[in-house]
Amino acid sequence: MASGMATASYELRFDSGRICLDLLATTHPEERLDSADRLRAWVTGSGLVPPGTPLPQADASWPVRFRELRGQIGQLVRGELNARPMDAALARVNAVALGSPPPLCAVRADDGVLVRRLPAAPGCGELLAAIARDTIELLTDPAARASLRHCEGDNCPLVYLDTSRGRRRRWCSSETCGNRERVARHRRRAALARA
């Protein structure tokens, strides 16, 4: 896990291959963006901002705006995967992408290595614009788009980029959905052996 932070009964996940898809993962198995603090943890863990970037402006309106964009991205991505155009969602994502993403600069750390920094704390609209642009880049890049997959786990709605060798990845996460499938398969075999 990129952030190293656990919340309630679940952890934030950053294993889908794209920031926009990681945003979609914040709905499963339960809502993960239900407070400004959890949103701050997600924004930092996702890499939208460099580590240590303060987000003092994040208030209760930010999770609402992120969840709204997440809904539009979810409709758009799943619509594209299922060959069902979602033009209203596309229009919303395009509108959000028109905003300016947070400006980055390079500064020297104490050890002399260049690191990313933001010259000022980003606003909500800037972060949303970066996610919307990531969505557009994903869906308009033929190679990336061809790697999009639905998780094959039971009742798992997640979408991920399959960058595995041979493009045979079946689950959003081998540790969660993959493990559940392996346990279920073992139980089925054990039940058949007992029968």
H or E, element range at 7? strand 6-7
Q: What is the pLDDT of residue 78?
A: 95
User: Splitting the chain (195 residues) into consecutive groups of 10 residues, what average pLDDT does each group show?
Assistant: 41 91 93 96 96 94 98 97 95 98 94 95 97 98 94 88 85 73 73 78
For tokens 């959905």, the residue is 177
Q: Which of 67, 88, 53 is nearest to 23 (CA)?
A: 67
H or E, element range at 108? strand 105-108
CA distance 66 to 163: 26
Specify the DSSP class assigned to residue 16.
S
CA distance 97 to 102: 12
The distance from CA 104 to its chain's CA centroid, rounded to whole angstroms, is 21
Tokens of 15: 């294993």
Identity of the residue numbered 135: T
**Residues 6 or more apart whose Cβ sits within 8 Å of residue 44:** 3, 51, 53, 55
Alpha helices, H only, the chain: 19-24, 36-46, 61-81, 87-97, 124-140, 142-146, 179-194
Contact indicator for 153, 29 with CB cutoff of 8 Å: no
Tokens of 158: 């997640």
CA distance 149 to 10: 23
C-alpha angle 24/73/11, rounded to 5°? 10
C-alpha angle 70/72/73, rounded to 5°? 65
Q: What is the pLDDT of residue 2?
A: 40
